[in-house]
Structure 1
């Protein structure tokens, strides 16, 4: 097994993912993941970048050109990741979300987003502005 395959397998197992989980997450086949891990095949440059992004490591780390796995992770931690402004909708666009160390697939993230949209719609119905309340508030402000 070459270095890319070893590191890919190690990163996948650290996240407690099966080959099919990773394949589904990045949109390729399980057999492709297996071939990458065994060194029988190499990912395209675009796919290598997607794998690096998913695991929050550099492509150089995956290729064995660097032993610093946490470089990209630390760099991104110091930048503003989606949702750092408190916006849950933006946060749910992140690709590294998990539930108790079990990664969430795109399909599962879509389900969470859809559920949140229902919750927000129902909740916002309770907070609709009452036009009578606005008029009363405006009258009070005019008196002052």
Structure 2
């Protein structure tokens, strides 16, 4: 029998979980109360509040509306939790969170060519060009 060192499971950032739990507790609501008013399951809300899952943007907007808090501020907290989680988990970050992290980092691109930042249109065209190159590359490698 080999002695394998068991590494403690890394956890998601608790920034968003703490925020959502505090919103509910401050209003003295049960999970069932929030679930019935938001048409979400108590289980999903519990997972969000325990930092086991991130709500989608749509779910986060619905929760912001329900708790009567600024939607953009709530979404920013969600973004910060995704960034923080990616930093905590590193290579162990689940793919869905990595994808959102990448999207967030390109939200306000600071990519420059010849000292000039790319415009949103230039970035979109460059992205389409790269996608076309990848398709061509995949087709070539299958032959």
| Structure number, greater radius of gyration | 1
Question: Which bin holds the TM-score, normalised by the shorter protein?
Answer: 0.3 to 0.5
TM-score normalized with structure 2 length: 0.41
Higher RCO, Cα 8 Å, sep 6+: 2
